[in-house]
Amino acid sequence: MKFICAKDYQEMSRKAASVIAAQVVLKPDSILGLATGSSPIGIYEQLVVWHRQGDLDFSQCSSFNLDEYRGLTADHDQSYHYFMHQHLFDAINIPAERIDLPDGAQMDAAAECARYDAAIAAAGGVDLQLLGMGLNGHIGFNEPDEVFSKGTHCVDLTTSTIEANKRFFASADDVPRQAYTMGVQTIMQARKILIIISGENKADIVREAFFGPITPQVPASILQLHPDVTVVADEAAFSKCRDLI
């Protein structure tokens, strides 16, 4: 693992965006695995700036997203389809036909998960996967469990995840109870992984995930086994493992 410490969220976002930008410049037809939530917004803002300045061209890129709420249509303002178009896709030149996310409106979970895994495989796999990490060590919607998940699957969201996401909805009652998510195995098959973490409230799980035992009770801990992982975090998130990095 490579650890990059940033002063704050803004610097973390710039440093992480630089990793993605380098990937696109060196391999213009990169397959990008993208994430949603509050953590990557600063990254996407920086990528848009560089694109508008003429420094980044996404015209040959393809993308797959980590997850999507089951039961939300693509035009729902809290769907991850909507989020990605709002924060990135509508502002860059990535072709629409090369954008793929799980289809939250598809209620046949087995069929949609199989379609998504087949699409990733047909594209040749993900070159660079962007991740965030939850307070319990979840990546995507892969929550603590008895085993590591494999392919794309439908998950029941935990109470803590619903609580964390309720700020995006009118109330906790409006948060969907299920989501489609790439499995841990799918994530681990990406050729490179970039994980971003910000805030003192993540300091305990950063130490546990990256310097503790590898266990499905802390899903992100499996990243210790990946050959090419870059962790970009701010000083607050790294505050409890400065002796280890």
Q: What is the pLDDT of residue 24?
A: 98
51 is annotated as an active-site residue: no
Q: Spell out the alpha helix ranges (H) of the chain.
A: 9-26, 41-52, 80-87, 109-123, 159-165, 184-188, 203-211
143 is annotated as an active-site residue: yes
Q: How many percent of the chain have pLDDT more than 70?
A: 100
- List the catalytic residue out of 51, 65, 67, 87: 67
Q: How far apart are CA 222 and CA 4, in angstroms?
A: 19
87 is annotated as an active-site residue: no
Q: What is the pLDDT of residue 44?
A: 98
- List the catalytic residue out of 65, 136, 142, 165: 136
Calculated CA dihedral for residues 143, 188, 72, 30, nearest 10 degrees: 150
- List the catalytic residue out of 81, 138, 142, 234: 138
Answer yes or no: pTM beyond 0.85: yes
- List the catalytic residue out of 112, 127, 143, 234: 143
Q: Which domains does the chain have, with CATH numbers?
A: 2-234 (3.40.50.1360)
What is the per-residue pLDDT across 14-61, written as a single tens digit (0 to 9) for each? Answer: 999 999 999 999 999 999 999 998 999 999 999 999 999 999 999 999
Judge whether 183 and 206 are in contact, CB under 8 Å. no
Judge whether 40 and 34 are in contact, CB under 8 Å. yes
Q: In the predicted model, is pLDDT for residue 164 greater than 90?
A: no
138 is annotated as an active-site residue: yes
